[in-house]
Structure formats: structure tokens, C-alpha cells
Structure 1
Amino acid sequence: MADYQIFSDGACDIGKEREKEFNISLVPFYVSLDHEKYHKEIEEISLDEYYKFMTEQNGFPKTSLPSVQDFIDAFRPVLQEGKDIICTTITPSLSSSVQSATTAKMMLEEEFPNAKIYVVNCWHITGSQTLILMEMAKMKRAGKTIDEVLEYVEKAKVDARIHFMVGGLSHLEVGGRIGKIAVLSGSILKIKPLIILKGGEISVGGAVRSRKKGLIKLADISKEHFKATGENPKDYVGFVGTTNVWDEVPEFEAVLKKALPEMEFIPSFQIGATVASHTGPGTIGFCFAKKYQAYHL
């Protein structure tokens, strides 16, 4: 079996510790606070600096996807070692990262005609993308082939979900996710929308007037999902992610574990700049994905 390396664009928010633990290679997005100079996310600008700008200066940072050359520079050394590559990218509804990676793949296939290079639109972002990547890494450790890993991703991206609550509506408006009238109405009523990411698309899952009710409602939505689909929470792994409202994480985890006691929960994570540029600070959510063993791969 040929050796292979797992890649992802940086919007997965896997974090340095898990990146190292699971041997995932990242191709970062770029972040700009002044809309002129761009920095590599995490590598050249910290999330603390990023969120400080958003909260203290009420700023609206911009992000830029990795370039074709960024993917080429990341992929080529691995291919030179004789390894194959599988790379996940975030949903195209939020970024064209998959196009950059695919173009890089096609260019490198001419240089390395015998190599397998798989670029997979995983339909997800941030925590759900991370969970899929972690399962991919576990499969590699278990001796699964790159083609078996590819089969897992195609199945898991259908079943994975993110259910989250944003802190306000202004960043959704700037990102084109909600209209001005909806923002005005929501601001007057102090409504906090609940958002669902599934199948690569974002939809509204409801609205609440307090964050405490929002956390309970998100847990209810998650519990109802398993009832409606007939899926077994025992087959899934999940965790909580937040931009900067860490004080709400323990309460949210407790509510979720009560609603879904059979599910495996892992420690929480911080949502990165790419997602936060759309949702703003004050975002908290629940991500879950199906374990590879549940697909009998």
C-alpha cells in the first residue's frame, strides 16, 4: 500500500495540537484587518489578535483563500517523497478553496503522473471538517488505504452537521448571508439566529431572544436530528466550538451531554478567522460527525 498524506485548507480550525497529533498538513487562509495587508491565519496573526480587533474596534476583517501556488508548494514536497495525497477543502458556498486545490492537483499530475492526488469538497468547515479529518487520520493509522479514506469522506460529509448560534447579525449582513431588513428587524427584537450547516449549505434553524435559550434550543435541534434520521448518536463524535465566549462552553456541553448521552464528546475548540469573518464574535456551536467504523469500512 502506497503511503499518503492528509491535507486540509486552514478553515478546518483543527488547532496546532490536533494538527500535530493527527499528522494533518494545513494550507492556511489569509486574514486582513485593514483590507490591504494579508497575513497567514494562525502562522502570522493570532486568533487573540483577530478577535480583539473584532470586539474592541468593532472591525470587519477580510479573509482570502489559499492560492494555487500555496497548494502546489504544500503538495510538491510530499509527492517528491513518493507519497499520495488526499486533501479536504471547505464548502464552496463559503470559499473557492476547492478550485485552488483542484488546479494545483491538475498541474502537479503532469509532473507526477503516477501519483494519486485527491481533492475533496467535504461540504463542511471548522469543527465538522476537523472531526472528519480526525477520522481520516484514525483510518490511516489503522492501515486503511487512501481509497478507503476517500470513501469515508464522501459518506461522512452527508451525515455531519454544525448547529450554531451567532452573537449578532451584522457580520452575516456584511458577508451577504442576511439582508438589511432582516438585520434591522432582528436588532430591534434582539433576535439571535440559530444556523445549521448541512450538505454544504447554510440554513436558519430558528431564532431566540436570549443566549441561554439558544444553547438549549441548539441541543434540542441536535437531539431532534437523530430522532428524525434514525441515526444512533453512539456512532458519532462531537464537540463544542466557540469564537470567544468560553464561559458558555461548560453549560453548553452539559446540556448537549444530557440530550445526547450516548455520543462521544471530545474537548472543545476555537473557531478560526475564516468562519468568524462571516459569523462575528460571540459565536458558539455544536459539531458532530460519524465515526468511520460505523460505515463498516
Structure 2
Amino acid sequence: MADFKIVTDSTSDMPVEWIEQYDLTIMGLTVELDGVVYETVGEHRLTSDALLEKMLAGGQPTTSQVNVGQFEALFREHAQKGQAVLYLAFSAALSGTYQSAVMARDIVLDDYPEAVIEIINTKAATLGEGYLVLKAAQAREAGVSLAETVALIEDLIPRVRTYLLVDDLQHLVRGGRLSKAAALIGGLVNIKPLISIDQDGKLVSIAKLRGKKKGVKEMLSLTLEQLDDSCVMVAYTGDIEAAEQLRATLLEDPRVEQVIMEPLGPIIASHTGTGSLAILSIGKEKR
């Protein structure tokens, strides 16, 4: 097995079994709500269910990036051990976490110039980011070198496709992740903007659909017409029945062999609220 440490963020919404199986390190962004700062990793981490309950009661959470000092401590620890690090970061267009890591690497390399610290902007979020981490972990387990793993992930990144339906766009606007113009359209009666992540890792509205059923149908169509991997991811907040129906529909297609279904973690859920559905996949062509 190739020897390098794989690190990612709590925004990747990695299932616990993946984290344990591949010995992954998760850097936790934080959520602040009603004057309390909550961690998103560790034993006492904030759960999405608890967060959504607070949001339904009127809470307006804000999220904070991982800071430079946290990355410096992690990178320095592995530099001292002589172990290479591969960090797959939440989209730099959606958080300053990637930049924190780059700054920390520069600090550590001043003291340990021989250290190997690879940082990749995944330009993805939730299970799109998580699936890239899984691919990197599987490559490492198969004995693939760090350089080859980086090349593999950089080939996949432009083809990660994300389609998201959100019941209330105001959370995305409040967090600065979506324009007020897109939210204004979403405020019209039963109009559901379909959101995607573009080639730069930014959230963009790509279609305006009347009703959730049409939104789901469009997500399915866009995903399946470009599908280049038999594994598809479904992420959701609150409405697990809708997510299970989406999973079942995907599995009816002969091109889909596996559907990984996970709830959106608290960082992403802070910006989507409840009732969100997303499909994430690897496409044939670049975004």
C-alpha cells in the first residue's frame, strides 16, 4: 500500500464506515447558531437533524472555515514523521478553507522543505467531494503512488456533476452562496430553480422548473444522459422518503449499479435548509 495520509473536510459528508476503513482525517468546519459554536467532527459534533430542528424554529446558522493554525498543526505533525499528505478540499469558491490549507503548507515547508503536502481544490461539495476522497483512498489501497493518485483525482474533478433542489433558497443567499436574483425567481409560486456546481466550483442556477416532481425528473435526465460511472450519490435533508424514491428510480436504470445515499452534513445543511435533494455523479464530459 502506498504510504500517504488522506485528509478532507466535514463538507464531504463521508459515511463513518469510509472514514474508519481508510483511516481518513476529517477537518471540521464549524457552525455558529444563537451565539454557540458547534463542531462538525468528533464525539460531540452537531448533527444535521439537530441543526435542522433549530433552523425550523427560526435559527439562522453561519459557518466558519478551518483556520490556518489547524492545518499547520496537522501538516507539521506529518512532516515531522516524514509522511506525505494529500488534502482534498471543499470547493475554494464556496469556502476559504482551501486557502487556509495553502497558507499553512507554505509555513510548514519553510521549516520542513522536504515535506510532501499535496492540496487539491475539488471544486465540489458533499458526496461529490466525498466520492473523490473515496477514489483517492481506493487508489492508495491498491498501491497507486501519490503522484498518480493526484493525476487520477484531477482527471475526475471536471467531470463531477452536482444537481441540487432546495425548498428555500434564502439560506443560500444569506450565506452568500447564491445570488439574490436566483432566489427571487425561486420565490415565485412553486418554481424550483435547479442548482448546479459549475467548472469553477461555484453554485449556479441552471433551470427553473414548476414543482419538485419536474425538478427531480430534470435532475435524473441530466445525470443519466452524461453518466460515466455506475455509482451515483444521493444526498438529502429531512425528506428521507423522497431520497429513497430517488435512489430506487436510479437503480431501475441499467447503467446504475450502486447508489450511495447519505444525509447532507450540518455545514451544507446550514445553507440548504430542510427538504433538499441532490444527485452527484461522474459525467463523460467536463462541466
Give your verdict on TM over 0.5. Answer: yes
Match of 2:280 among 287, 294, 297: 287
Shift of residue 160 of structure 1? 0.8
Cα distance change of structure 1 residues 79 and 290 upon mapping to structure 2, 3 Å threshold: farther
Deviations 1:264-294 (A, max 9, x none): 3233111112222222221111111379xxx
Deviations 1:77-110 (A, max 9, x none): 3333221001011112110111100111111112
1:252 paired to 2:246: yes
Shift of residue 179 of structure 1? 4.8
1:241–1:271 CA contact under 8 A, matched in 2: yes
Where does structure 1 lack aligned partners over 5 or more consecutive residues? 227-231, 292-297
Residue 261 of structure 2 corresponds to 268
2:7–2:88 CA contact under 8 A, matched in 1: yes
Cα distance change of structure 1 residues 183 and 144 upon mapping to structure 2, 3 Å threshold: closer
* SS, match of residue 187 in structure 2: helix
Cα distance change of structure 1 residues 239 and 178 upon mapping to structure 2, 3 Å threshold: closer
1:48 paired to 2:49: yes
* SS, match of residue 23 in structure 1: coil
1:237–1:290 CA contact under 8 A, matched in 2: no
Deviates more, 1:196-205 or 1:176-185: 176-185
2:250–2:256 CA contact under 8 A, matched in 1: no
Aligned counterparts, 1:1-297, within 5 A = 3-34=3-34, 36-43=35-42, 44-55=45-56, 57-180=57-180, 182-199=182-199, 200-224=201-225, 226=226, 233=228, 235-258=229-252, 260-289=253-282
* SS, match of residue 268 in structure 1: strand
Cα distance change of structure 1 residues 182 and 14 upon mapping to structure 2, 3 Å threshold: closer
TM-score (norm 2): 0.90
Residue 229 of structure 1 corresponds to none
CA distance in 2, matches of 1:169, 1:140: 39
Letter in structure 1 aligned against 2:231: V
TM-score (norm 1): 0.87
Where does structure 2 lack aligned partners over 5 or more consecutive residues? none
Deviations 1:115-143 (A, max 9, x none): 21011111111110000000000000100
Shift of residue 181 of structure 1? 5.8
CA distance in 2, matches of 1:198, 1:253: 24
CA distance in 2, matches of 1:289, 1:21: 23
* SS, match of residue 36 in structure 2: coil
CA distance in 2, matches of 1:177, 1:32: 17
CA distance in 2, matches of 1:154, 1:166: 29
Letter in structure 2 aligned against 1:251: Q
1:131–1:237 CA contact under 8 A, matched in 2: no
Provide runs of 4+ in structure 1 moved above 6 Å.
none
Identity of aligned residues (%): 27
Cα distance change of structure 1 residues 183 and 136 upon mapping to structure 2, 3 Å threshold: closer
2:2–2:143 CA contact under 8 A, matched in 1: no
* SS, match of residue 59 in structure 2: coil
Shift of residue 212 of structure 1? 2.4
CA distance in 2, matches of 1:124, 1:181: 23
Deviations 1:42-66 (A, max 9, x none): 43322221111112x1322000000
